[in-house]
Amino acid sequence: MNRRKIVRLGFLLVALGFGAWALAGQWTEVSAGFARLSWGELAGSLVAVLGALVAGMLMWRALLADLGSPLAFADAAKIFFVGQLGKYIPGSLWPVLAQMEMGRDHGIPRSRSAAAFFLTYPIYLASGLLVAAVTLPVLAGESVARYAWLLLLIPVLVIALHPKVVNGAIGFGLRQLRKPPLERPLSRRGVLTSAGWALAGWVAYGTHLALIVHGLGATGPGAVVLSFGAYALAWCLGFLVVIAPAGVGVREVAMAAALAPVLGGGRTTAAVLCSRLIVSVGDLVCAGLAGLASRSTAAGHREPAGKS
């Protein structure tokens, strides 16, 4: 086993260890909430999270392809999902460093990997704020009024995501780092395709929370709509408040405020905690499945060469 494989295996083991530790640390708090959910609601919620995570991977894959590095589905899944486990390791740069390292196996320049990775965040932010703006103001009312300032960011982000602005910013950053420019600039089609996958992801995340909320006693169309907006608002606010690692605390408060019209007291807290744990489980499942699929594909490619 060469040095690169040892380093990658070490990263995977450390990330899985921190991920498992995070799950174990949350179980005591969420066990009571899970006890109120049926197996169908739990399974459906997890499936929805897996769909959301796949949509996020496809968003990143679309950006990378637009920048000049198309990837097969299995290869993209392995790089993205295994790299994303790095967010459980203390320090914010592990996911992008992991993706840059694994991308080298497929001829992806580090600058291109980094550009695709960092572009996912403003696209997630803009689309998530749009979902929150459409779903929350009428139904949530005063409970989310304190977050109204977030709506001002939507036009700013739309302008910032124009290909000319993005390409100019990337070019400036690479010049400052004394790196060569990107071979292919980002196109409008690339931005719109990735934004479409981001919106699909928000729909799936909203579905996972709606199933949890339903299991905790909130029924009707209003509860479903609020679930979509609650998750989007929580993620966006947690991302913006960078002083809270991974949005811990901030996301929970925002989600609880958005769900307040349909859930109260302990049920809101249970919904928030159950959601967080199910998303963490989804991260680990996606990384495991992507790794297995990638190894199976690689084995299939090697098999014909060994036949006589």
Q: What percent of the chain has pLDDT over 70?
A: 78
256-282 pLDDT per residue, tens: 889 988 887 678 888 888 888 888 888
Range of the domain at 111: 3-288
Q: Quick one: tokens of 290?
A: 């992507």
- Quickly state the pLDDT bin for 308 (edges 50, 70, 90): very low
Sign of CA dihedral 11, 15, 16, 18: positive
Closest CA to 123 of 52, 197, 49: 197
Q: 125 with 151: CB under 8 angstroms?
A: no
- Quick check: is 184 in a domain? yes
- Quick check: is 139 in a domain? yes
Contacts of 224 (CB under 8 A, 6+ apart): 206, 210, 213
CA–CA gap between residue 143 and residue 137 (Å, rounded): 9
Higher-pLDDT residue of 65, 25: 65
**Tokens 């609880």 belong to residue:** 256
Q: pLDDT value at position 203?
A: 96
Kindly report the number of other CB atoms within 10 A of residue 220's CB atom.
Answer: 10
Contacts of 122 (CB under 8 A, 6+ apart): 157, 160, 161
Q: 135 with 203: CB under 8 angstroms?
A: no
112-160 pLDDT per residue, tens: 888 898 899 999 999 999 999 999 987 877 888 888 888 899 999 999 9
Higher-pLDDT residue of 304, 255: 255
CA–CA gap between residue 232 and residue 131 (Å, rounded): 7
Q: pLDDT value at position 3?
A: 61
CA–CA gap between residue 253 and residue 30 (Å, rounded): 16
18-36 pLDDT per residue, tens: 555 555 555 555 666 667 7
Sign of CA dihedral 223, 224, 228, 229: negative
- Quick check: is 293 in a domain? no
pTM, two decimals, is: 0.83
Closest CA to 291 of 85, 63, 2: 85
Higher-pLDDT residue of 179, 167: 167
- Quick check: is 295 in a domain? no
Alpha-helical regions (H) of 147-265: 153-160, 163-176, 188-215, 221-240, 250-259
Q: pLDDT value at position 25?
A: 56
- Quick check: is 304 in a domain? no
- Quickly state the pLDDT bin for 307 (edges 50, 70, 90): very low
Number of domains the chain contains: 1
CA–CA gap between residue 69 and residue 184 (Å, rounded): 10
Region 76-100 average pLDDT: 77
Q: Which helix (H) or strand (E) holds 130?
A: helix 110-135
- Quick check: is 296 in a domain? no
Q: pLDDT value at position 270?
A: 83
- Quick check: is 301 in a domain? no
- Quick check: is 298 in a domain? no
39-60 pLDDT per residue, tens: 899 999 999 999 999 999 999 9
Region 167-195 average pLDDT: 89
State CA 169 to chain mean position distance: 23
Contacts of 124 (CB under 8 A, 6+ apart): 56, 59, 198, 201, 235, 236, 239
- Quickly state the pLDDT bin for 306 (edges 50, 70, 90): very low
Q: pLDDT value at position 244?
A: 46
